């Protein structure tokens, strides 16, 4: 009987002031954590394969770049539009660096970048361009499709929300 009562109490707790305060505290902490610190997101698309698969679930660690700037090779979450639509891309070049794609090779300041995370061959070609100040150059890991269908380029630093938790 005592067990039944305990179960009943767990699923249907009495709305006492103490319970309401506890529930309110939990809701507030959840709002802070999942709204501002670890924003949950689901990956939709194949542009970061094989590192991140379509449909995967992850969290955006918002304080990742609070005291530092993104480094080359970092995967970052970029605010695309509004507060809900974001992009997951890899930083390949930093501000004032020169980026160029030449027959499926990525050149930074004229030197080929070693990219162990690229598993699918690609044949992109894009003339050299300099990354603007306060920006980074981001590209997806899966460059097997045509360049026109891929979202990549310079993203301003204020648009970078953080990095994926794993």
Contacts to other proteins by CB under 8 A: 78-83, 85, 87, 126, 129, 132, 138, 151-155, 159
Q: How would you label 47-86 residue by residue, b for 16+ Cβ within 10 Å and e otherwise? A: bbbebbeeebebbbbbebbeeeebeeebbbbbbeeeeeeb
Rounded to whole angstroms, the Cα distance separating 159 from 101 reads 24
Q: Which residue has the tokens 């990742």?
A: 64
d(CA 86, CA 69): 19
Closest contact distance (angstroms) between CB of 10 and other proteins is 39
Q: Give me the least distance between CB of 81 and other proteins, in Å please.
A: 4
Looking at the Cβ atoms of 9 and 125, the one nearer to other proteins is 125
Q: How far is the CB of 31 from other proteins (least distance, A)?
A: 19
Cβ neighbour number for residue 160 with a 10 Å cutoff? 23
Nearer to other proteins, 82 or 116 (CB): 82
CB closer to other proteins, 118 vs 138: 138
**Whole-number minimum distance, CB 114 to other proteins, in Å?**
23
């Amino acid at each position: 009987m005592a067990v039944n009562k305990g179960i009943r109490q767990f699923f249907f707790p009495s709305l006492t002031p103490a319970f309401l305060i506890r529930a309110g505290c939990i809701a507030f902490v959840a709002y802070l954590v999942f709204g501002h610190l670890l924003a949950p997101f689901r990956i939709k698309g194949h542009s970061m394969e094989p590192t991140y698969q379509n449909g995967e679930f992850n969290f955006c660690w918002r304080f990742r770049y609070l005291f530092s700037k993104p480094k080359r090779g970092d995967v970052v979450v970029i605010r695309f539009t509004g507060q809900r639509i974001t992009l997951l891309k890899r930083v390949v070049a930093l501000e004032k660096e020169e980026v160029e794609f030449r027959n499926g090779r990525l050149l930074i300041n004229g030197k080929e970048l070693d990219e162990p995370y690229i598993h699918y061959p690609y044949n992109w070609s894009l003339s050299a361009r300099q990354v603007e100040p306060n920006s980074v150059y981001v590209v997806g890991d899966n460059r097997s499709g045509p360049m026109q269908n891929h979202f990549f380029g310079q993203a301003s630093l204020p648009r970078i929300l953080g990095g994926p938790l794993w």
